[in-house]
Structures are given as structure tokens and as C-alpha cells.
């Protein structure tokens, strides 16, 4: 498989989200959007124009937004509840738990501008604890798409799936990832983007293209890195991670704190099934102000940072 990240230009995955949602809504009248005064930030302006009756704006009230979403599902709708990920998950966490996950309600929660996309706005607006909070809830499918194609596939899958889903939708520019023409989105399955036997990089979302670039750097040094795109955080592909542990070491990279996210999931799995060293790249905690790119670079969430962590793991093994 090709390791190179092609020069495809950079994309804001919110566009793939809303274009897919509009197309689906055109085919299925059950689909509605629920927002917290977030039509603009969710890029749902065109959806609103096309389907004015099917965009429900509850105003700035996240708890009610998620509860209303659960009620709409009860009334036979397929609600896509869209709001800034930091407020959707933080403010309405108990609604996500009780009304959606525990109730097994058919609600699609779309956390927009997740991670550190709102870098300069500070820690209140960063959504870097959400995976830890949500991953603890049994029954909630969690998807972190890596590019426009995967975002569109995730939205289509969620619309067809009966049950609660959380999708993390970034606004950080990402390239379209290199994939074979017959690539398929499979929920609960890691996507092997590059094979390699010296070390494995397990990643998701905005970090996947950095991981592929890191694999290129490593290959030039004679280190073959396997790259797994873990778009589904729950249910988790234990088998792929156990197989990745067979390389002797795993680096995880995510736009999340280092506790309880993808790295946590990998560590839980590896420690139980096939213990190997795991290096978890992510954020230590509340972050200072700065651009998203700067914040990520500062914490090794870059091609160079991932390559360095992988190099360290391989060197440590001797």
C-alpha cells in the first residue's frame, strides 16, 4: 500500500458531513437536524434552507438539545444532534448517558470542531476529554473519521444504524487519505493503511495523515511502521490491536488527553492480551491558548513527533 500522503489539497470535514446529511435527508424524510444555535458552526445553513421544518434549533441549551433528540427518535425521527463537541459532550453528558446510551435511543450525536480546533479560545472550548467520557458508556458507538471520505461514510453508516452514535467531526484541514478504489468503511474494524513489522502506530481522526507521513520518515531510516486508522473507538477492534502488538511496540496518537482516549483503549487491550510498550501521544491536560497546529506540535502530535516516539520504542527494544 502506498504510504505517501497525496497532494489532494486540504479539507474541512464539516463539509463532507453536511453534504452527506443533506443527500440522506433528501432520500429519507425521517432525518432531522437538531442544533444549539449552531447552524453556522455546524455548516447547516443549506440544510436549513432545503428542509426548514426539519432543522430544530433549541437555542443555547445543550441538555434540552440532547433530550429533544432522544424524544425525536422516540417519535420516529432520525435526529442528527450537532453542536460544538466541547458543549455537546460536557454540558449534556448525563443526557447522553441516560437519554441516549442507556435508553438505546436512535440518536446521532455530532461533535463539531472537536479536539483543539478552537485552539486560541482556550481549554473551555477544547474537546479533548470527550472520548474518555463517552467511551465509558456501553452501547454508544463512537466514530472519529479521518478525512472527508470517512466522514461521509460514517454519517451514512450512522443514519442506517439503529442505535446511539457519537461522531467526532473536526474543522482542522486534513488531506484525503490514499485508499484503494474499493475501500469500504467497516464499523468496529481498524483500517490497515500501511503494513509494517517493526512498530505500529494506532491513531484516528486528524492524526492519521501525520501518522502516514511519520511512517515515510521512519521507512527512510529502515524502520517499517504499521499504521492503523482506528476510526471506530467503540466498539473497539481488539483483534487488530493485539496483532499490532506483535510488532513489539505501539505508538498511539490522538487529539485528546492522554488519559482514557484511544491510547487508553489500546493500553487496556494490550495489557490484557499481549503486553508490549505503548507510547501514548496526546495532551497532558488543560492547554494554554495557541493555534490548533501549534498546540498539536507542542505535544508531539505531528509527523516528526510520532516518528520520534516510534524511534524511541524501537531503540528501547534494541
Of the pair 67, 148, the CB lying nearest other proteins is at 67
Strands (DSSP E) found in 58-135: 78-84, 108-112
Site for other proteins in 250-269 (CB under 8 A): none
- Collapsed DSSP state (helix, strand, coil) of residue 10: strand
Task: Figure out which of the listed residues 9, 40, 53, 184 binds other proteins, where binding follows CB under 8 A.
Answer: 53
61 binds other proteins (CB under 8 A): yes
Decide whether 56 or 183 has the Cβ nearer to other proteins. Answer: 56
Residues in the chain: 318
Q: Does 66 bind other proteins (CB under 8 A)?
A: yes
Does 99 engage in binding with other proteins (CB under 8 A)? yes
Q: Determine which residue in the list 5, 16, 68, 295 makes contact with other proteins, applying CB under 8 A.
A: 68
Check binding of 37 to other proteins (CB under 8 A).
no
What's the CA gap between 217 and 303, in Å, rounded?
Answer: 8
Among the listed ranges 19-27, 57-65, 180-188, 240-248, the one in contact with other proteins (CB under 8 A) is 57-65
Cα distance between residue 161 and residue 150, in whole Å: 16
For the bound state, the minimum distance from the C-beta of residue 86 to other proteins, rounded and expressed in Å, comes to 18
Looking at 50-58, 189-197, 276-284, 290-298, which segment touches other proteins (CB under 8 A)? 50-58
Confirm or reject binding of residue 32 to other proteins (CB under 8 A).
yes
How near is the Cβ of 107 to other proteins at its closest, in Å?
Answer: 9
**Rounded Cα gap, residues 107 and 70, in angstroms:** 6
Nearest to 125 by CA among 297, 294, 290: 290
Residues binding other proteins: number (CB under 8 A) = 30
With a CB cutoff of 8 Å and minimum separation 6, the contacts of 139 are 101, 102, 104, 163, 164
Residue 58 lies near other proteins (rule: CB under 8 A): yes
Q: End-to-end CA distance of the chain: give it in Å, rounded.
A: 27
Q: Judged by CB under 8 A, which of 8, 15, 41, 64 binds other proteins?
A: 64
Q: Whole-number minimum distance, CB 70 to other proteins, in Å?
A: 5
For residue 68, how far is the Cα from the chain centroid? 24
The correct pick among 3, 44, 88, 105 for binding other proteins (CB under 8 A) is: 105
Q: Report the candidate in 149, 170, 151 with the shortest Cα–Cα distance to residue 159.
A: 151
Sequence-separated (6 or more) residues with CB below 8 Å from residue 187: 141, 143, 157, 161, 232, 235
69 lies in the binding site for other proteins (CB under 8 A): yes
CA nearest neighbour of 69 among 60, 58, 84:
58
Cell of 178: 490514499
133 binds other proteins (CB under 8 A): no
Binding site for other proteins (CB under 8 A): 32, 53-54, 56, 58-59, 61, 63-64, 66-77, 79, 94-95, 98-99, 102-105
Amino acid at each position: 500500500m502506498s504510504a505517501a500522503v497525496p497532494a489532494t489539497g486540504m479539507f474541512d470535514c464539516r463539509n463532507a458531513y453536511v453534504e452527506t446529511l443533506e443527500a440522506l435527508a433528501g432520500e429519507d424524510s425521517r432525518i432531522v437536524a437538531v442544533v444549539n444555535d449552531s447552524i453556522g458552526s455546524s455548516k447547516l445553513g443549506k440544510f436549513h434552507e432545503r428542509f426548514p421544518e426539519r432543522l430544530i434549533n433549541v437555542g443555547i441549551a445543550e441538555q434540552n438539545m440532547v433530550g429533544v433528540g432522544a424524544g425525536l427518535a422516540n417519535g420516529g425521527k432520525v435526529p442528527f444532534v450537532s453542536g460544538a463537541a466541547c458543549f455537546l459532550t460536557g454540558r449534556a453528558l448525563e443526557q447522553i448517558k441516560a437519554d441516549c446510551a442507556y435508553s438505546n435511543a436512535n440518536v446521532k450525536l455530532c461533535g463539531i470542531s472537536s479536539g483543539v480546533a478552537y485552539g486560541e479560545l482556550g481549554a473551555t472550548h477544547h474537546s479533548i476529554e470527550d472520548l474518555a467520557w463517552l467511551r465509558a458508556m456501553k452501547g454508544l458507538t463512537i466514530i472519529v473519521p479521518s478525512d472527508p471520505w470517512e466522514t461521509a461514510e460514517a454519517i451514512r453508516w450512522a443514519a442506517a444504524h439503529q442505535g446511539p452514535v457519537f461522531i467526532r467531526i473536526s474543522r482542522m484541514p486534513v488531506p484525503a487519505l490514499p485508499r484503494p478504489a474499493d475501500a469500504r468503511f467497516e464499523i468496529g474494524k481498524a483500517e490497515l493503511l500501511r503494513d509494517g513489522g517493526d512498530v505500529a502506530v494506532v491513531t484516528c481522526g486528524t492524526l492519521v495523515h501525520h501518522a502516514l507521513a511519520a511512517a515515510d520518515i521512519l521507512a527512510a531510516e529502515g524502520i517499517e511502521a504499521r499504521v492503523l486508522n482506528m476510526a471506530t473507538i467503540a466498539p473497539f477492534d481488539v483483534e487488530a490491536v493485539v496483532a499490532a502488538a506483535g510488532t513489539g511496540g505501539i505508538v498511539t496518537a490522538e487529539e485528546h488527553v492522554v488519559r482514557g482516549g484511544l491510547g487508553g483503549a489500546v493500553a487496556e487491550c494490550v495489557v490484557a492480551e499481549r503486553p508490549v510498550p505503548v507510547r501514548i501521544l496526546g495532551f497532558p491536560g488543560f492547554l494554554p491558548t495557541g493555534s490548533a497546529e501549534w498546540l498539536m506540535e507542542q505535544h508531539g502530535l505531528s509527523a516528526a513527533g510520532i516518528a520520534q516516539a516510534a524511534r524511541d520504542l524501537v531503540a528501547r527494544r534494541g
